[in-house]
Amino acid sequence: MGLKNEAQSGYGTKKFYQEYVSGMSRERFSKELTADTERLKLVYKEAVEDIERQQGQQLPGHIKMLRLFSDLAQRLNPTRRLIFGLGSVSFVAYYVLNFLDIIQYFLIGDLLLPFSFLSMFMLLLIELLEKSDVQKEIDLAREIQLSLLPGTSLSKDNLEVYSFAHTAKEVGGDYLDVIETEKGTYVVIADVSGKGLSAALYMVRLQALVNLIIEKDHPSPKELFLQLNNYIKSNSKDKTFVTGCAAFFPNDEDHFEYIRAGHNIPIYYNKERDTTFKLKANGFALGMASTKLLDKNLEVKKFHFKPGDSVLFYTDGLNESRNERDEEYGEERIESLMEIYGSLHAKTIIGKVQSSLEAFIGSVSPLDDVTFTCVHRPEK
């Protein structure tokens, strides 16, 4: 057994090199270059292509460059924009004066290039420091969000629940909750439109409201979603919509009540028939229609839930995950796994789905949040 010497012998060239190149790998280069390229394409589209489409004609090359430069500069605050502009002008002026061979006639001619370099370098350092501070805040937001997720497992005499959640970004918009009450257990899974911090904040608000409604009213799944829709539609400027499923498993009963609001169809395994079924039910996504219209279209279903039965709820991040060949994981794989492992414990089923997904995507990171949970009635 080897012991690692954690004492610091000094800070030399080798140590600097190791710190500088840490995290550099071919896979990470490829991923980050692709992300940066897509970001630059989006900036170019907003600055140039959208204007060309509105005007119905191609812009001259120098106008494209000016528009792109202006769009990038507008993303900086006024002080940094001034530094950026002065540094850019100094850089161009130095080479123009050199080309015309008149730089020696200007007192500050030789200082133009050093000034350009230093201003850009200082601007870069400031932006990096600010990005680091923002990243710390996002990391904190991620910790808060993850702390609000339910425990991965719930085990009762007649019910097992086990869950998996992975965010595609630092914070995500998938919502999962398992809420125990005196009358039974609620399982709610939802996907907020969008990604990143805005979707995550909306998800947190949604979670607080769900817990409040259940604690106060003990509603049916349909009543729960109708109240949530009232909340979402209460702000006319809010264009967010939420797909979701809600199920209620009563204590000491052999059935569960279920609704689906435009969400992925859960997979149900029936031990008696040794087969799987899709739990289809009609319903709009929350926020897409008025509560009155949703009330008419939100279909309530009841299903038997006997010993050995299982049901898998999931978000579209699972079935839409892609591998290196851009192939989709698909619903068929999920159904096949439930057919094979559906009679096993919830934890085992979730482990099998997770292993299958990881083997399928390989080194590719999911582009969307991946969340799934399994509810299983154990055999006595």
Q: What is the mean pLDDT of residues 344-359?
A: 93
How sure is the predictor about 204, in pLDDT bands with cuts at 50, 70 and 90?
confident
Residue whose C-alpha is closest to residue 194's, from 212, 225, 227, 168:
168
Question: Which is nearest to 269 in space by CA: 377, 128, 159?
Answer: 377
* Range 353-369 average pLDDT: 86
Here the tokens at position 235 are 């702000």
pLDDT (tens digit per residue) in 243-288:
999 999 998 889 999 999 999 999 999 999 999 999 999 988 998 8
In this prediction the pTM is: 0.68
Over the Cα atoms of the chain, what is R_g?
A: 28
Task: Tell me if residue 117 falls in helix, strand or coil.
Answer: helix
Closest among 155, 189, 159, 157 to 376, alpha carbons compared: 159
Inter-helix orientation angle 196-217/112-148, to 10°: 20
Mean pLDDT calculated for residue range 32-56: 79
- 35 vs 276, more confident: 276
- Residue with the two structure tokens 């924009």: 81
Q: What's the pLDDT band for 7 if we cut at 50, 70, 90?
A: very low
CA distance 343 to 310: 7
Q: Of the given ranges (24-33, 61-70, 84-93, 158-167), which has the lowest mean pLDDT?
A: 24-33
Identify the residue whose tokens are 């060239």. 13
Q: Which amino acid is at 308?
A: G
Closest of 65, 66, 71 to residue 47, by C-alpha = 71
Could you give the percent of the chain with pLDDT greater than 90? Answer: 33
Task: From residue 119, give the alpha-carbon distance in Å to each of 74, 125, 147.
Answer: 17, 10, 42
Residue 206 contacts residue 242 (beta carbons within 8 Å): yes
Q: What is the Cα–Cα distance from 331 to 267, expressed in whole angstroms?
A: 9
Q: How far is CA 233 from CA 189, 195, 224, 237, 314, in A?
A: 20, 20, 14, 9, 25
> H or E stretch including 243?
strand 242-250
Q: Which amino acid is at 25?
A: S
Which is more confident, 150 or 215? 215
β-partners of residue 334 are none
For residues 23-37, average pLDDT: 73
Task: Tell me the per-residue pLDDT of 175-184, one tens digit each, with 9 for 90 and over.
Answer: 888 999 999 9
CA–CA separation, 171 and 178 (whole Å):
20
Average per-residue pLDDT for the chain: 83
Closest by Cα among 127, 97, 122 to 111: 97
Predicted confidence band of residue 227 (pLDDT cuts 50, 70, 90): very high
Query: Which helix (H) or strand (E) is 327 found in, with range?
Result: none
375 - beta bridge partners? 161, 311
- Say whether pLDDT at 8 is over 70: no
Q: Which among 93, 252, 264, 55 is positioned nearest to 157, based on CA atoms? A: 252
Q: What's the pLDDT score for residue 4?
A: 46
Higher pLDDT, residue 305 or 3: 305
Task: Work out the percent of the chain whose per-residue pLDDT is above 70.
Answer: 84
Cα angle 175-180-181, degrees, rounded to a multiple of 5: 130
**CA angle, 168 as apex, 164 and 173 as ends, to 5°?**
75
- 95-104, 117-126, 135-144, 331-340: which has the minimum mean pLDDT? 135-144
pLDDT band at 165 (very low <50, low <70, confident <90, very high): confident
Confidence category of residue 379, pLDDT binned at 50, 70, 90? confident
